[in-house]
Amino acid sequence: MRVAMYYNNRDVRLEELPTPTIGPGEMLVKVIASGICGSDVMEWYRIKKAPLVLGHELAGEAVEVGEGVSTFAAGDRVCVLHHVPCNVCRYCLNGDHTVCETLHTTNIDPGGFAEYVRMPSINVDRGVFRLPDEVSCEEASFVEPLACVLRGQRLAGFRPGQTILILGSGISGLLHLLLGRALGAGRIICTDIEPFRLTKAQQLGADAAIHAEQDVPAQVRELNAGRPADLVIICTGAFSAFKQALGSVDRGGTVLCFAPTDPGVELPIPVNDFWRNGIRVMPSYANSPADAVAALELIRAGRVPVRELITHRLGLEETGLGFRLVAEAKDSVKVIIRPHG
């Protein structure tokens, strides 16, 4: 089968690998749509494992199921999770599925930028979801990233009527915008350095879109009746955004670090001010199977119109172009790879 082999952000090659064979409890999935995630182009994170086949936002068709699989059959349209938790460790039982050791060690074979993927038995058990008739495979490829966004807003304690500031209007920032709008945000303000993405944020319902090189904390207060934001979501690794976030959050508010910085970066936090004002700073990484179920339902119900985020549809042989588009972060939002055309 054909795969897009990642060497670095500027070197993604079309290569051949054997089509995976499946064993008991496993599933072979024909990949119909696979999205390029912002984390796929975090070169410092990915290159240490290169060469490898990336891609974890995918949906397709089950073409073969292994012995003992009774909940799925060949021909089922499905979306999948690449990382799944054990559901029985102390972390899972406490609701902290994304720090489960099993979640950090499970994966699909070889990755979504391939014609076919093998789903291990544990993934079939808790990380494969049958698609409703009204959800396309392209839309279903958003289940994993939307599940991450849903978990982040839930953990941050978002409540309807609150003001959200989203720093970075790439794919994760715009998903936070769409979800916040669906869940009843009072006002949503987005930032970015690219005019294309600022325009996209406004088209998708942002109340304001600010160029990130402006005085963001001051602009937020001006747009929000003199108040900072209740929830500030950082969706870019730019260190300047982290500093802007600390100056843009209201008393009793939350700063959600949805994106990481480069390795080794430390963020000075005004502990005394935050202690007195009840401000939380928290991260959010990945999602749980329950988040994926909720994300799929939001897409099915049309509450989060993910199709509007797709800017490019490319064949497997064009995956290298897709990586460059996402890494440049200019005139693209979601790039979908379609291995079978």
pLDDT (tens, 9 = 90+) of the chain, 341 residues, equals 999 999 999 999 999 999 999 999 999 999 999 999 999 999 999 999 999 999 999 999 999 999 999 999 999 999 999 999 999 999 999 999 999 999 999 999 999 999 999 999 999 999 999 999 999 999 999 999 999 999 999 999 999 999 999 999 999 999 999 999 999 999 999 999 999 999 999 999 999 999 999 999 999 999 999 999 999 999 999 999 999 999 999 999 999 999 999 999 999 999 999 999 999 999 999 999 999 999 999 999 999 999 999 999 999 999 999 999 999 999 999 999 999 98
DSSP bridge partners of 338: 315
274 lies in the same domain as 292: no
278 lies in the same domain as 311: no
- Cα–Cα distance for residue pair 176/154, rounded to 1 Å: 11
The confidence score (pLDDT) of residue 333 equals 98
29-85 pLDDT, tens digit per residue, is 999 999 999 999 999 999 999 999 999 999 999 999 999 999 999 999 999 999 999
Could you tell me how far CA 24 lies from the centroid of its own chain?
Answer: 30
10 lies in the same domain as 138: yes
Could you tell me how far CA 60 lies from the centroid of its own chain?
Answer: 18
Q: Phi and psi of 138, rounded to 5°?
A: -60, -45
The confidence score (pLDDT) of residue 76 equals 98
The confidence score (pLDDT) of residue 140 equals 99
**How would you class 290 by CB atoms within 10 Å of its CB: exposed for 0-12, middle for 13-18, buried for 19 or more?**
middle
Judge whether 308 lies within some domain: yes
Judge whether 260 lies within some domain: yes
Bridging pattern class, strands 128-130 and 334-338:
unpaired
129 lies in the same domain as 227: no
37 lies in the same domain as 130: yes
Range of the domain at 23: 2-147+287-338
Average model confidence (pLDDT) across the chain: 98
DSSP 3-state percent helix, strand, coil across the chain (nearest 5)? 35, 25, 40
217 lies in the same domain as 301: no
The confidence score (pLDDT) of residue 233 equals 99
Q: What is the CATH number of the domain that holds 193?
A: 3.40.50.720
The confidence score (pLDDT) of residue 340 equals 98
The confidence score (pLDDT) of residue 184 equals 98
DSSP per-residue letters across 152-200: HHHHTT--TT-EEEEE--SHHHHHHHHHHHHTT-SEEEEEES-HHHHHH
52 lies in the same domain as 134: yes
The domain boundary, picked from 243, 263, 283, lies at: 283
Judge whether 242 lies within some domain: yes
Question: Among 2, 12, 7, which Cα is nearest to 325's?
Answer: 12
Question: What's the domain count of the chain?
Answer: 2
Judge whether 152 lies within some domain: no
21 lies in the same domain as 134: yes
